[in-house]
Structure 1
Amino acid sequence: MQKRNVSTVLRALLDQHGISPTELHRRTGVPQSTLSRILSGKIVDPSDKHISKIAEYFGVSTDQLRGRAVAPAAGVGRGELHSELKDISLWDDDTPVDDDEVSVPFLREVELAAGSGRFVIEESERSSLRFGKRSLRHNGVQFDQAKCVTVRGNSMLPVLRDGATVGVNAGKCGIGDIVDGDLYAINHNGQLRVKQLYRLPSGIRLRSFNRDEHPDEDYTFQEIQEEQIVILGHVFWWGMYAR
């Protein structure tokens, strides 16, 4: 059996409850940078102050969160963990979608004409990812407003690696909907990008986690129109689903 540690347990809890580290930060007050370092394995023994807040939210003990104990078979509230994984149900693109699932389409960049260098964003007719309806409801996402986006490049390291997938709530796509520091998918003149967004008096700021290589980008409202920057939606989930 795979040895549990705080990183693997926290990832399992986030997946089980269908929330992102950003949302966990908002609900617990644990700094987003701390959560990112826990998930990446850079913090292997978080402080009691932080670990207790996370454990309390998920309804598990601090020992269970640290991977030092296994939850009893009867469960331990919202954060029930199991010592063994359930059987995995295999499916492919031809497998019918269950009643409690939603097939969420991927957004992709499409070149308007070969060699033109001009792109538009559209839904893929082939690629999709399944989400439980309960998870979408839990995150306040209307089923028809859920989209998936693939992250490219190293600008969002160490949280989002190249090839990571994010779930996007297209129902929250206005500048007025921006929550400072949250992740959003944007259409930047035909380029799909995932960034932290901040509202500025004169416009918006795009921020990468990897700020050493990718400095902040500030755009005025006029530049937003000139650059054709459109917010596609708020990121409510992410994972390493490979595409």
Structure 2
Amino acid sequence: MIAETSEAGDPRRRLLELADGMGVSLSRLSALIGRNSSYLQQFIRKGSPKKLEEGDRRTLADFFGISESELGGTEEKSYKVSSALRDEEFIAVPRLAIAVSAGPGQFAGGETPFDNFGFSGRWLRDNGLDPKMLSAVTVEGDSMEPLLRHGDEVLVDRTPGPWRDGIHVVRVGETLSVKRLARSGQDRVSLLSQNLAYPPVDLPLDEVDVIGRVVWKSGRV
């Protein structure tokens, strides 16, 4: 049963028609917009939320190659894409409102997604990455220059398992940092900066919480 609505051109019914027509599940579409798997099911069946948020509506309109007005938006906001692009599998990876320090230290600001990056599902599979374990955060500071610059965003793979030498997001106390990790002895680890103005920090391994490995970066030229 679809939740009743008084609006002309019911966006709930239209979304269900589009999903059925393309053979894509509501749970997959929910993942596309960075929501939990039952989000669009509740939107259609229970009327919660009452309307799609603008960013979610835009992403869905892009995916189906339709006007946002068909999903409850204004007529002016229309996004048409080629059939080739629609046929490609894109997966939404959340961008988190968190800054990771590449300098003296930065506290986490929260873990609520404010947007998402769309990644090719094939690219993620080819690189052995599980979308459910990925998130993007922002770099602050200059200790990882020139590899990572202030304002870059990095994709963090939080898949559990033994860590290996490389660039990771770590938590020491309540401070999040992005550093190159290297074992420095039995049960010890060095946090290394790319910028040689910052000396290595050597710590017992049990004082370092490895959040995830950095697997991709985005930044302005």
Q: TM-score range by the shorter chain?
A: 0.5 to 0.7
Match of 1:177 among 160, 163, 185: 163
Query: AA paired with 2:179?
Result: K
Percent identity between matched residues is 30
CA distance, structure 2, for counterparts of residue 192 and residue 202 of structure 1: 21
CA distance, structure 2, for counterparts of residue 166 and residue 157 of structure 1: 14
Q: Give secondary structure in 2 for the equivalent of 1:210.
A: coil
Match of 1:207 in 2: 192
Asked if structure 2 preserves the Cα contact closer than 8 Å seen for 1:208 and 1:216, the reply is: yes
Quote the offset at 1:214 in angstroms: 1.1
Query: AA paired with 1:232?
Result: I
Quote the offset at 1:141 in angstroms: 0.9
Match of 1:195 among 173, 179, 195: 179
Match of 1:231 among 210, 213, 216: 210
Q: Does 1:101 align with 2:86?
A: no
* 1:137/1:233 CA distance change after superposition, 3 Å: same
Q: Does 1:151 align with 2:139?
A: yes
Taking structure 1 as the reference length, the TM-score comes to: 0.49
Higher relative contact order (CA 8 A, sep 6+): 1
CA distance, structure 2, for counterparts of residue 239 and residue 189 of structure 1: 27
Asked if structure 2 preserves the Cα contact closer than 8 Å seen for 1:149 and 1:166, the reply is: yes
Gaps of 5+ in 2: 1-53, 64-87, 100-105
Match of 1:141 in 2: 129
Q: Give secondary structure in 2 for the equivalent of 1:137.
A: helix
Q: Give secondary structure in 2 for the equivalent of 1:149.
A: strand
Aligned counterparts, 1:87-98, within 5 A: 94-96=58-60, 98=63
Quote the offset at 1:92 in angstroms: 5.6
* 1:141/1:128 CA distance change after superposition, 3 Å: same
Match of 1:27 in 2: none
Q: Give secondary structure in 1 for the equivalent of 2:59.
A: coil
Match of 1:127 in 2: 115
Asked if structure 1 preserves the Cα contact closer than 8 Å seen for 2:181 and 2:189, the reply is: yes
Asked if structure 1 preserves the Cα contact closer than 8 Å seen for 2:96 and 2:114, the reply is: no
Asked if structure 1 preserves the Cα contact closer than 8 Å seen for 2:108 and 2:176, the reply is: no
Q: CA RMSD in A?
A: 2.8
Aligned counterparts, 1:162-173, within 5 A: 162-172=150-160
* 1:131/1:217 CA distance change after superposition, 3 Å: same
Taking structure 2 as the reference length, the TM-score comes to: 0.53
CA distance, structure 1, for counterparts of residue 122 and residue 220 of structure 2: 20
Question: Greater CA radius of gyration, 1 or 2?
Answer: 2
Asked if structure 1 preserves the Cα contact closer than 8 Å seen for 2:98 and 2:138, the reply is: no
CA distance, structure 1, for counterparts of residue 212 and residue 109 of structure 2: 13
Q: Give secondary structure in 2 for the equivalent of 1:129.
A: strand
CA distance, structure 1, for counterparts of residue 147 and residue 110 of structure 2: 26
CA distance, structure 2, for counterparts of residue 124 and residue 168 of structure 1: 15
Match of 1:186 in 2: 170
CA distance, structure 2, for counterparts of residue 135 and residue 241 of structure 1: 21
- How many equivalent residue pairs? 135
- 1:156-197 deviations in Å (ceiling 9; x for gaps): 10111100011111104x5x322x2x1111123333311101
CA distance, structure 2, for counterparts of residue 169 and residue 215 of structure 1: 26
Match of 2:35 in 1: none
Asked if structure 2 preserves the Cα contact closer than 8 Å seen for 1:185 and 1:231, the reply is: yes
CA distance, structure 2, for counterparts of residue 106 and residue 148 of structure 1: 5
